[in-house]
Amino acid sequence: MTFDNTLAVDLKGVFLCMKYEIPHMLQSGAGAIVNNASIAGVVAEPGISAYVAAKHGVIGLSKAAAVESANQGIRINALAPGLVNTAMTKAWFDDPNVSAHFIANTPIGRVSEPAEIAGMVLFLCSDHASFAVGQTFVIDGGYATH
């Protein structure tokens, strides 16, 4: 995938979602948006520069939009998951070198399951997170602590 395509999907896609979500939330009087970034938005890995740039952009865009929308009842945050066990990441797990790298560098010693990420999204969209605005929530088993 080219640099432009990566930014178009991973960054501009988030921008366009918010462009259309926010007006509907303003009509209803409130809302919560959780944008999907990645640990690549807080740390860099070799060979994925475009993805790292896009995910850093998602975090910055989320912060800026949060500042612009918070006083209108809309809370915007970003989620930065580490490696998640999904069909998309199966090829990485099938490669013993890649899998070993992530497991060795994740203090919890495993990758996450989709339900663990979904739980944080549910929390951030709930009233329990009513004071969380413009933050990036890293859920990576400690990977980014290095």
Calpha distance 74→29 (Å, rounded)? 8
Q: Which amino acid is at 2?
A: T
Quick one: tokens of 92? 């990485």
Active-site hit among 51, 102, 137, 143? 51
Half-sphere exposure of 14 (CA within 13 A, CB side): 26
Q: Strand, helix or coil at 146?
A: coil
- Residues 118/112, Cβ–Cβ less than 8 Å: no
User: Hey, how many other C-beta atoms are within 10 angstroms of the C-beta on 113?
Assistant: 12
20 is catalytic: no
User: Hey, how many other C-beta atoms are within 10 angstroms of the C-beta on 132?
Assistant: 17
User: Which residues have a catalytic role annotated?
Assistant: 51
